[in-house]
Structure 1
Amino acid sequence: METNLKPLTQFFMKFTSAGLVAGTLALGAGNAVAQPSPGVTDTEIKIGAYLPLSGPIASYGIPLLAGMQAAINTANEAGGVKGRKFTLVAEDNKFNPQATVAIARKLITRDEIFAFVAPMGTPSTAAAMDYILNEAKVPIINPYAGMAEWYNPPRDFFYGAQVPLESQAKVIGRWAAKDGHKKLIAVHLTLVTNERQANEFAQAAKRMNPDVAVEFLSTKLGSTDFGPMAIEIASKKPDAIAMFFTQNETVALAKELRLQNVRIPIYTYAGIVINSTIDIAGASVEGMKAVSYIVPPSLDTPAVREYRTALAKVAPNEKPDYLSLNSYGYMKIFIEAVRRINGPITRQTLVQSMDNMRNYDTGILPSVTYSPKQHMGTTSLQRVQITGGKWNILGDAVDSEKDW
């Protein structure tokens, strides 16, 4: 199969509603598989992903796809694994949960993918999960999504490295209380996942300090007018605010608060730790505190330098950022799991390989360990803050499942 590694600027132009083949990766092996799995031949392994590549959340999906493509290219240039080529089929779900169900069915039945790798969206994954895992029995590896209930108890064919949203909120709540804030406001989208974040934030803050009081304000996904909310927040005079929005709403409210001269500490979760948050919001987010899944994309280490070089090759117009670095790391974990398979490459042997992975260090996110009883690879988060117009690390990583 001819390798297609054109810059993503051209790559995205070729995207159609029928899907798109995102490039190839030599994965290698030797002889033909005795009992081939769907998506696997003696020359190819085909994987799939659903991401928002258009619409209001495309600012997440496009860099995530670029990171995956960069990881694929890196492995290809290194000679691949077992003589096979890896083909990525990416579909635009526009962050629509119901559309994701149809897309998942198409990727499995028509494209015959081997597994889903780093698909994006907690609501989207939740909507499609029953069909993918229980009916089709196709693995989902390291989605850019996460809820605590997905991992307790572990679900067959499902593995992740993204600390669930609820666990992130616990860290943020404890952090705000440890910083001495007693009068807090938690603002969130009306989506179930964000409501849960706000509740976990409040409970964690109160466990840290029973004197903490938390009020809640909510808005719908895609809201743009935050003047009334900013005025209401100002009238309540909180010590600090926690935001559980997408980037669009976070930036809009931060700007409006600054216009209203409300200068209070802002806490948020890892989905907002993106360089474009600073590019768009500027001084409005200076001082913002958050948790991050990964190390900064500017870090001068072999793994991050490798990522920056690979990203420049496949997506020269994409600046190094947390999103593409994140998906680069997630794809590396999957590739390593395939590399460690002994014998036929099947969905079951992929599961066995994931179950046997211990302390694998990508150099990008905390070391991951999986087992039959532990399908969440890590529970650690790095605290960060915007100072001097960039995200900076604050202290050591913390375990979201423990007091710190």
Structure 2
Amino acid sequence: MRSTLTGMAGALFLASALGVGAAGAKDTPGVTPTEIKLGSWTALTGNLAVYGLPGVAGLNAYYSHINDQGGIKGRKIRLITEDSQYNAQQSVTAARKLVGSDGVFAIQGAFGTGQSSAALPYLTQEGVPFVIPFASDIKWFVPPRPLLIGAQVPYDDQCWVLGHWAAKDGFKNILVIHSAVAQFEAAAKATEPGVRSVSADAKIEFMSVKFGTTDYAPIALEVRRKAPDAVVFVGAVGELAAFAKEVKQQAIKTQIFSYAPAVNKEIVVMGGDAVEGLRSVYYTLPLESDAPGVKEYRELLAKYAPKEEPDYVSLLTFALAKVMVEALKQADEPLTRESLVKAFYKIKEFDTGIIGKVSFSPERHLGTRSVQPVVLKGGKWVTVGDFIEAKN
């Protein structure tokens, strides 16, 4: 009886949060017999446009492909993207425009974790789903929020996997170096439970470094003194390259691990042979993979965004678009915000061919916690085994 009442209460809360019901099903914002209007924000200008522009290209490449095949149940997807400039207030402004003026059905593919967090209260107030964003925070999903559903693995989970991997490979003296920024520090702390999932006696230490540090010589000297057999580096990609160069310069023998932001082409340009052998994790298979999903991505990106070079960012957002399309296909008619959220719960072990398999339920709004271990060899990222799921 209690479980039945709990289920009824949950369903009522979901319907209330979404602001829809049987009476409102036929006038759902952003849905017509021929169109589904989605909204997004990202950095289209500024330094972070190096993530924003390819991110949009990945989304649009897959949506254009779907539209050319007739859309979903006769409806074509229209994605409206606003420039957030990677700014929290601009993201809130974008959310208000997309919902209030453009009348979008849902927000999908929005970029920036802190920036999107700033917009979430408004979206919740308006009953607008925030789904499959190009961002992630473990606090968004534990406990699950009725309007928020994602499939990008948070940094905390990535660091758990790095710790697990290091300990599993026999490293016993692990130093975690992280930027002195709250989000980096919080993620870095998850390395320890990852280590402990394998080894109870491994030594693990933490070292905080000022964000934006360019001179890593003194830090490398401290690493020499501590003599770790493995270092987990959680910070900006430029700082990782600078650190790796100092380690090589000072002939320090240690295995370097880092998280998803390290997995890009730029790390090779900045780090040269100093980053050869770097171990990391990423959301997707490598760009050069022969897996069908990655090959499809390269083909469709070339077709719909011919000026855009294949990039790890657009590969990820292409996969995220595939998850969104699967939910739209699964959604019951009439298509409403409520039926969209419930459609995600039908997705079980969905394989994009690019990221880890995706599953959702009322208790699980983060569709995957799996990342792909990769190693930098000969200037290219190559896979190491299968996807690993964080257990923290």
Equivalent AA in structure 1 for residue 102 of structure 2: D
Within 5 A, what are the aligned runs for 1:336-375? 336-375=326-365
Counterpart of 2:121 (choices 106, 127, 130) is 130
Equivalent AA in structure 1 for residue 325 of structure 2: I
Counterpart of 1:121 in structure 2 is 112
Q: How many angstroms apart in 1 are the aligned matches of 2:385 and 2:324?
A: 29
Q: How many angstroms apart in 2 are the aligned matches of 1:364 and 1:343?
A: 29
Unmatched runs of 5 consecutive residues or more in structure 1 = 1-32
Residues 229-261 of structure 1: CA deviation (Å, up to 9, x unaligned): 334334433222111123233233333433444
Equivalent AA in structure 2 for residue 125 of structure 1: S
1:113 CA displacement: 1.9
Secondary structure of the structure 1 residue equivalent to 2:294: helix
Q: How many angstroms apart in 2 are the aligned matches of 1:222 and 1:53?
A: 23
- Shift in alpha-carbon separation, 1:232–1:111, aligned structure 2, 3 A: farther
Counterpart of 1:110 in structure 2 is 101
Within 5 A, what are the aligned runs for 1:75-94? 75-94=66-85
Residues 152-182 of structure 1: CA deviation (Å, up to 9, x unaligned): 2211111111222212111111211222323
Counterpart of 1:381 (choices 371, 383, 386) is 371
1:385 CA displacement: 0.8
Q: Answer yes or no: is 1:331 the counterpart of 2:308.
A: no
Secondary structure of the structure 1 residue equivalent to 2:80: strand
Counterpart of 2:256 in structure 1 is 266
Counterpart of 2:219 (choices 208, 224, 229) is 229
Secondary structure of the structure 1 residue equivalent to 2:82: strand
Counterpart of 2:234 (choices 241, 244, 249) is 244
For the Cα contact (< 8 Å) 2:39–2:79, is it kept in 1?
yes
- Counting aligned pairs with the same residue, the percent is 40
Residues 330-374 of structure 1: CA deviation (Å, up to 9, x unaligned): 001111211222322221111111122222222112221112222
1:203 CA displacement: 3.5
For the Cα contact (< 8 Å) 2:25–2:336, is it kept in 1?
no
Q: How many angstroms apart in 1 are the aligned matches of 2:78 and 2:210?
A: 37
1:206 CA displacement: 4.1
Q: Answer yes or no: is 1:166 the counterpart of 2:156.
A: yes
Q: Answer yes or no: is 1:187 the counterpart of 2:177.
A: yes
Equivalent AA in structure 2 for residue 58 of structure 1: A
Q: How many angstroms apart in 1 are the aligned matches of 2:127 and 2:181?
A: 27
Q: Answer yes or no: is 1:303 the counterpart of 2:293.
A: yes
Of residues 62-71 and 75-84 in structure 1, the stretch that sits farther from structure 2 once superposed is 75-84
- Shift in alpha-carbon separation, 1:204–1:144, aligned structure 2, 3 A: same
- Shift in alpha-carbon separation, 1:306–1:82, aligned structure 2, 3 A: same
Counterpart of 2:247 in structure 1 is 257
Counterpart of 1:52 in structure 2 is 43
Unmatched runs of 5 consecutive residues or more in structure 2 = 1-23
For the Cα contact (< 8 Å) 2:160–2:194, is it kept in 1?
yes
CA RMSD of aligned residues (A): 2.3
Q: TM-score, normalised by structure 2?
A: 0.86
For the Cα contact (< 8 Å) 2:229–2:253, is it kept in 1?
no
For the Cα contact (< 8 Å) 1:206–1:213, is it kept in 2?
no
- Shift in alpha-carbon separation, 1:400–1:34, aligned structure 2, 3 A: closer
Q: How many angstroms apart in 1 are the aligned matches of 2:27 and 2:318?
A: 27
1:388 CA displacement: 2.0
Equivalent AA in structure 1 for residue 43 of structure 2: P
- Shift in alpha-carbon separation, 1:179–1:367, aligned structure 2, 3 A: closer
1:287 CA displacement: 0.7
Q: TM-score, normalised by structure 1?
A: 0.84
Which structure: greater helix fraction? 2
1:221 CA displacement: 4.6
Secondary structure of the structure 2 residue equivalent to 1:369: coil
Count, aligned residues: 369
Q: How many angstroms apart in 2 are the aligned matches of 1:318 and 1:264?
A: 37
Counterpart of 2:31 in structure 1 is 40
For the Cα contact (< 8 Å) 1:114–1:138, is it kept in 2?
yes
